[in-house]
């Protein structure tokens, strides 16, 4: 049975820079997986699986090396195979999303054009909604995951289109109330409940619940939020807890394309 000390001795026989490169590559892969799953249910499941595997290996190595329980090692190896099969089934939505993202690489389409199209769809939606005096609030997730808020809403996972956003916010529909969350070029969820800003200052007096929610979510995260006012028909952009009103469409498209990237 190979112990941890034996493993370190074997590693010491290799060139240090090769070991360093391997460790960096492994770290990058793990970081990419965690970043990809961030804000999803798969994130918690992935961390739980990693914890079980690491704890199992450490405890098992200690027990086997001390008491020579080779049968326990055999059973644990079978357990790992079972965990792998369960993980593939449990991570099916995330695996499918990863494959779709790989398929949409630069070889097939331009990412910048895709993001610009998404920004144009968002601006077109809020512009038409504001013109019709229909309230709307759209949150664009960035580096800080909004998983805790997404869980309060209804999952959608659909491509961003102006038509779909206008349909969601139509009064009387099941999803029109509260917020929509955007991740990349996908509508992640609708009817998402957001925190309301408590104090918005003298400049924010008279703001409705949508504007206060936009200020609240952008204060506690790096998200960007679009708000269409049903009272005034004004389109506003919230970022870093501040509200920018009456922005031109060209400015909004350029700003959102940069935020989405």
Q: In this predicted structure, what is the pLDDT of residue 52?
A: 72
Q: Do 133 and 253 belong to one domain? A: yes
| Domain span at 144 | 107-260
Q: Do 199 and 184 belong to one domain? A: yes
* Residue 154 reports pLDDT greater than 50: yes
Q: In this predicted structure, what is the pLDDT of residue 107?
A: 41
Average pLDDT in the 112-125 region? Answer: 84
Q: How far is CA 202 from CA 44, 70, 83, 211, in A?
A: 41, 72, 56, 14
pLDDT in tens, 170-201: 998 999 889 999 998 899 999 999 988 875 55
Residues above pLDDT 90, as percent of the chain: 28
Q: Do 170 and 82 belong to one domain? A: no
* Residue 5 reports pLDDT greater than 70: no
Q: Do 174 and 208 belong to one domain? A: yes
Contact criterion met (CB below 8 Å) for 124 and 163: no
pTM of the model: 0.60
Q: Do 50 and 72 belong to one domain? A: yes
* Band (78; pLDDT cuts 50, 70, 90): confident
CA proximity to 190, closest of 214, 207, 167, 208? 167
* Residue 61 reports pLDDT greater than 70: no
């Amino acid at each position: 049975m190979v112990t941890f000390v034996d493993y370190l001795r074997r590693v010491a026989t290799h060139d240090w820079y090769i070991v360093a490169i391997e460790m960096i590559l492994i770290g990058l892969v793990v970081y990419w997986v965690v970043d990809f799953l961030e804000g999803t249910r798969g994130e918690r499941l992935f961390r739980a699986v990693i914890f079980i595997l690491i704890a199992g290996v450490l405890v098992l190595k200690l027990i086997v090396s001390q008491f020579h329980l080779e049968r326990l090692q055999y059973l644990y190896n079978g357990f790992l195979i079972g965990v792998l099969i369960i993980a593939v089934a449990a991570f099916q939505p995330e695996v499918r999303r990863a494959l779709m993202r790989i398929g949409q690489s630069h070889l097939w389409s331009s990412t910048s054009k895709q993001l610009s199209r998404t920004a144009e769809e968002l601006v077109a939606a809020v512009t038409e909604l504001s013109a019709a005096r229909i309230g709307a609030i759209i949150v664009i997730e960035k580096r800080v995951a909004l998983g805790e808020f997404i869980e309060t809403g209804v999952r959608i996972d659909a491509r961003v289109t102006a038509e779909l956003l206008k349909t969601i916010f139509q009064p009387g529909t099941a999803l029109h109330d509260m917020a929509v969350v955007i991740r990349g070029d996908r509508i992640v969820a609708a009817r998402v409940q957001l925190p309301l800003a408590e104090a918005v200052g003298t400049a924010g007096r008279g703001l409705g619940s949508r504007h206060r929610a936009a200020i609240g979510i952008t204060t506690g995260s790096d998200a960007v939020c679009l708000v269409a006012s049903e009272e005034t028909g004004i389109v506003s952009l919230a970022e870093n807890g501040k509200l920018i009103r009456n922005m031109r469409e060209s400015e909004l498209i350029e700003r959102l394309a940069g935020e989405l990237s």
